[in-house]
Amino acid sequence: MSLDTFGDALATHQFDSFRIGAILKGNGSASETSIQRALTAQRFSKARIGDILSAHGLVERTDIAEAVARQHGLPFVDLSIEPADPTLIETADIAIYLDSKIMPWRKTGQGTVYLCSDPDKAATAMAQLRRKDRSRILALTEARSLRSALVTATAGPLAKRAGMRRPKPFSLRRGVVTWQKTVIVMALITFFAGLVLSPASSIVALIYIAASIIGLNGLLLLSSRLYGRFDNHGLARTCDAPLISDHRPPPSISILIALYREAEVAPLLNEALRALDYPPELLDVKLILETDDDETGPAILAQDPPPFVEILITPDGGPRTKPRALNFAMEFAKGDIIGVYDAEDRPAPNQIRQITAQFAASPPEVACIQARLGFYNALENFITRCFEIKYAAWFDVILPGLRQMNLPTPLGGTSFFIRRRALAAAGGWDSYNVTEDADLGVMLSRMGLITALSRSITAEEASSKPSAWIKQRSRWLKGYLATWITHMAHPAELWRNLGPSSFIGLNVILLSAVWDISPYRLCG
């Protein structure tokens, strides 16, 4: 729509207000069969007809957006033909743009035109936007086009928001605090001085320290084993739990998957996403790529992914980490619950049904649910068998025990689902921590929230080569130490947040990971 046509439309109010199904049938975009199919699905999912038609691939998204514009009496703008003027973007208003899915488009004789993808959300945003030019006009465009234009126009600020989302007092970017530096320096001076003055005694003392921490870890594992054996409270039942009852609509789910140069997994990923047994109109899958990855995106598109899958490109910025990519995608996630998968994951098809049913049956303080992880290549060689043993012990025994003892629960890097409000309250992910999953689990515990467990399993690929195992293990150990540095910056505050038993348990969990060289750890 040109600016001249736009002005004529505003002047004459030549827009209709019908039901969207009637509009789509009237212009030939949807058949009667498609509309009836969408209405049938709506009885269960309670989603909007346009979202259902789009998610099932029955009508093009642009056609639906045009119909919504007509339904609300708004002009429609096709950004692929008439791009937005980036000079109108106000950095101070980026939060409003993101929350309300709105952005300035062009200036006309009548005022500044703002584009939106959801007129209901945009109404509040328009009232918040304050300009010298008080004439503000609302138009509608397709949601993905709006997101793409918004990312392009605000790439720098978005990259900064993603990197700095976690407040500095709870982020590794704060660095090592003074008392930690003092302890580290004094420990090193004492150790090296001891090596010079009494080498044998120093080595024996170091062995005793390591043995003490390993012993505490063994006691913790034994306690977990006993609790996990006698009380499995917090685990989802193995039966296929139904979705939420008719009087309570099922929640929408956003799945975030960060990829980097993983074109080879595109067929497997597409197969896994298509196998998910959940209403497509309630699924919102974001595949998050980096700007210098020219291979993965085309490989995914070549597989013809489901309509509920969207590719996002993370703006350049630092640090270049998975948690920063997740923070960026979180800005555009639509779901009430946000889940994280890895590219090679094969979740059980009914996993999301079980997770949503468990959330529905849980009290509000249950903010996160961790699914069980296993491997589809467990029998490949000795290393993959060790991984399978480690994960079986961790997810079947240790985590249930930690949960029962009300100790902080380190999350796995994949197949966990968290309430959107809880994730936002936690400050998202710490972009500077390479084990962002463990860190997030600690943050939830500090907030008094609970991580429950599910028996639903996700199969992934175990590292089968020694070099890959060493890199993965090194990252985990470094990340656990980083998490300890972050949360132990102010021990008194952490003690108040967690309580005595959880405070001690967290220190044992994190520090024993650095010292523990037992066969159990070597197998995973």
CATH number, residue 491: 3.90.550.10
Please give the tally of structural domains in the chain.
2
Helix H, strand E, coil C: the string for 479-514 is: HHHHHHHHHCCCHHHHHHHHCHHHHHHHHHHHHHHH
| Residues 268 and 388 placed together within one structural domain of the fold | yes
CB of 512 closer than 8 Å to CB of 518: no
Cis-peptide into 319, omega within 30 deg:
yes
Q: Do residues 172 and 430 make contact, with C-beta atoms less than 8 angstroms apart?
A: yes
Quote the distance between the C-alpha of residue 330 and its chain's center: 6
Q: What is the pTM of this model?
A: 0.90
Closest CA to 505 of 257, 310, 220: 220
Domain ends where: 113, 143, 162?
A: 162
- Report the alpha-carbon distance of residue 311 to residue 343 in Å, rounded: 13
Q: Based on the domain organization, do 358 and 494 belong to the same domain?
A: yes
User: Which residues neighbour 44 within 8 Å (Cβ) at sequence distance 6 or greater?
Assistant: 243, 246, 250, 279
**Residues 415 and 318 grouped into a single domain:** yes
Residue identified by tokens 């609790």 is 227
pLDDT band at 514, cuts 50/70/90? low
In one-letter notation, the amino acid at residue 214 is I
Looking at residue 391, its pLDDT comes to: 87
Q: Are residues 393 and 507 in the same domain?
A: yes
Q: How does strand 450-460 pair with strand 346-347? A: antiparallel
pLDDT in tens, 11-66: 443 444 358 889 999 999 999 999 999 999 999 899 999 999 999 999 999 999 99
Looking at the structure, do residues 265 and 393 belong to the same domain, yes or no? yes
In terms of domains, do 46 and 156 share one? yes
Position 195 in a domain:
no
Q: How confident is the model at residue 191 (pLDDT cuts 50, 70, 90)?
A: confident
How far apart, in whole angstroms, are the C-alpha atoms of residue 355 and residue 244? 11
For 412, what's the count of Cα atoms within 13 Å in the CB-facing half-sphere?
28
Same domain, residue pair 336 and 460: yes
- Rounded average pLDDT over 367-372: 96
Both 462 and 370 in a single domain?
yes
Amino acid at 518: S
Q: Which domain holds residue 447?
A: 230-522
- Looking at the domain assignment, is residue 170 inside a domain? no
Choose between 513 and 240: higher pLDDT.
513
CB 367 within 8 A of CB 451: yes
Q: Which two tokens stand for residue 467?
A: 């070099």
Quickly state the pLDDT bin for 8 (edges 50, 70, 90). Answer: low
Cα separation, 369 vs 346, in Å, equals 17
**Order of all β-strands in the sheet with 337-341:** 309-314, 283-290, 253-258, 337-341, 416-419, 366-375, 450-460, 346-347
Q: Which of 102-116, 239-253, 444-458 has the highest mean pLDDT?
A: 444-458
**pLDDT tens digits along 487-506:** 999 999 999 999 999 998 89
| Bigger pLDDT: 467 vs 451 | 451
Residue 399 has pLDDT above 90, yes or no: no
Local structure of 356: helix, strand or coil: helix
Domain final residue pick, 128, 143, 162? 162
Q: Answer whether residue 420 is part of any domain.
A: yes
For 32, other C-beta atoms within 10 Å of its C-beta total 9
The single-letter code of the amino acid at 188 is L
Could you give the residue ranges of the DSSP H alpha helices within 89-246? 94-100, 119-128, 143-153, 155-163, 178-197, 199-230
If asked whether residues 360 and 505 sit together in one domain, one would say yes
More confident residue, 394 or 147: 147
In this structure, which amino acid lies at residue 73?
A: G
- Whole-number pLDDT of residue 123: 80
Helix (H) or strand (E) holding 460: strand 450-460
For the chain, how far is it from start to end, CA to CA, in angstroms? 59
The chain-wide mean pLDDT, for the chain, equals: 87
Same domain for 254 and 388: yes
User: What is the distance between the alpha carbons of residues 410 and 509, in angstroms, rounded to a whole number?
Assistant: 9
Give me the helices (H) in 275-350, please: 296-302, 322-330
Give the closest residue to 373 by CA, choosing from 453, 449, 315, 294: 453
How far is residue 506's CA from residue 484's CA, in Å, rounded to a whole number? 8
Q: Which residue has the tokens 């919504």?
A: 68
Q: What percent of the chain has pLDDT over 70?
A: 89
d(CA 480, CA 498) in angstroms, rounded, equals 18
Statement to judge: residues 147 and 262 lie in one domain: no
Instruction: Enter the tokens of residue 191.
Output: 């150790």
**With contact defined as beta carbons under 8 Å apart, do 427 and 167 qualify?**
yes
Q: Identify the H or E element spanning 516.
A: none
Q: What is the pLDDT of residues 80-109, one digit of tens each?
A: 999 999 999 988 889 999 999 999 999 988
Please check whether residues 158 and 234 belong to one and the same domain: no
User: Is there a contact between 67 and 20 (Cβ–Cβ < 8 Å)?
Assistant: yes
182 in a structural domain: no
- CA pair distance 181, 175, nearest whole angstrom: 10
Q: Kindly state the average pLDDT of the residues 160-188.
A: 92
Q: CA 291 to CA 85: how far, in whole Å?
A: 23
- On whether residue 474 sits in a domain, the answer given is yes
d(CA 112, CA 102): 13
Which of 119, 144, 162 is a domain's end point? Answer: 162
Answer yes or no: is 190 within a domain.
Answer: no
Per-residue tokens: 169: 């007092």
The structure tokens 């056609």 sit at: 63
Residue 524 has pLDDT above 70, yes or no: no
Confidence of residue 206 (pLDDT cuts 50, 70, 90): confident
Does 120 map to a domain? yes
Q: Which of 440, 430, 390 is closest to 410 using CA atoms?
A: 440
In sequence order, the β-bridge partners of residue 313 are 289
The label of the residue with tokens 């004529």 reads 8
Residue 200: inside a domain: no
